[in-house]
Amino acid sequence: MRDYAIDELAYQKVFPRKEDRNKIIFALNCCDKIEPISRNHTSTKPSPEQMKNITQKINSVSNIFNMNIDNIIPYSAETGWNMNNLAERIVLATLMSGDLILTSNINDAVSISKKVMSEVLAKNPEISNIFKIW
């Protein structure tokens, strides 16, 4: 089993309040690589055995980070499996958070993201080695 100690520390420091943690979505990528790995490239969906292991991983992450399983979305970027569900969940969480910033200028979006991340790191210098800013 993977050691989540650094992830837990970052999660607690960046999101100390439960109401902030409810806005978080954990996206579990590479679900096409979960055991038992299939060499059948005709299907983009995980096998029933893989789904069992994906469910176990979701439950494990939910328990470790004390979060709702609805906020943990498994997907595979390589095969495209469950990408629509991930995108829908991100949009829904963003709309429900009340923290939505709309801009048609990508430079503004990058600037806002850098500013927010800089503020988080300024408040929590001990986690600066975990996050890299562009």
Q: What is the mean pLDDT of each run of 10 residues along the chain (134 residues)?
A: 80 84 87 84 85 95 90 92 88 69 59 66 67 47
pLDDT number for residue 49: 94
pLDDT number for residue 93: 76
Residues listed for the chain: 134
pLDDT number for residue 101: 58
Tokens 């902030």 locate to 20
Torsion sign, CA atoms 58, 114, 16, 101: negative
Q: Domain coordinates of the chain in residue numbers? A: 5-98, 101-134
pLDDT number for residue 16: 86
Retrieve residue 46's tokens.
Answer: 């995980």
* Dihedral of the alpha carbons of 132, 81, 105, 102, in degrees to the nearest 10: -100
pLDDT number for residue 88: 85
Q: Where are the beta strands (DSSP E) in 42-106?
A: 72-74
pLDDT tens digits, 72-99? 999 999 889 999 888 888 877 776 666 6
Quick check: 53 and 34 in contact, CB under 8 A? yes
pLDDT number for residue 134: 37
